[in-house]
Structure 1
Amino acid sequence: MKRLTIAAVVLAMIATPTLAQGRRGGGGGDDKKTDTKPKVDDKAYKAALERIPEPKEKYDPWGVTKPAADPAKKPK
């Protein structure tokens, strides 16, 4: 009886993930597709991009890792 119980538990543990992966479809059967994304306003987007100020000097992401360059010695 103990072997039968253990075998049933092992089979249930193996079958559970298989059943979860085998289900297709979805819940409810709603065929209607609703557009939940907000509409993009191109004029407002372009206006927001124009309000971003241009940097005065170019950003160097590796600037903290390399030593400061000596202005007298410029590489060719």
Structure 2
Amino acid sequence: MNQAILINDDFEYIKQDSCWRFTGMLNAERVTIYIKHQNQTLTDSLKFDLEEMVEEFLEEDEPDDKNEIWL
């Protein structure tokens, strides 16, 4: 599907779920993204990896009916 997403710089680690939460703009709508990951330290490298995972997901899939992406 090759959709463009603009990722916001609002990364937050949710310890109880062991995941990163951040938002993006997709087709003029806000999307909340959750990615399970054990690394709790946000580096530029990790940020790029998370963004790439979202882009790969969007090549084949779309956010759910709540405008959320769970990876």
TM-score class, shorter: under 0.3
Point out the structure with max Rg over C-alpha.
1
**TM norm structure 1:** 0.21
Task: For CA contacts below 8 A with separation 6 or more, give which structure has more relative contact order.
Answer: 2
More strand by share: 2
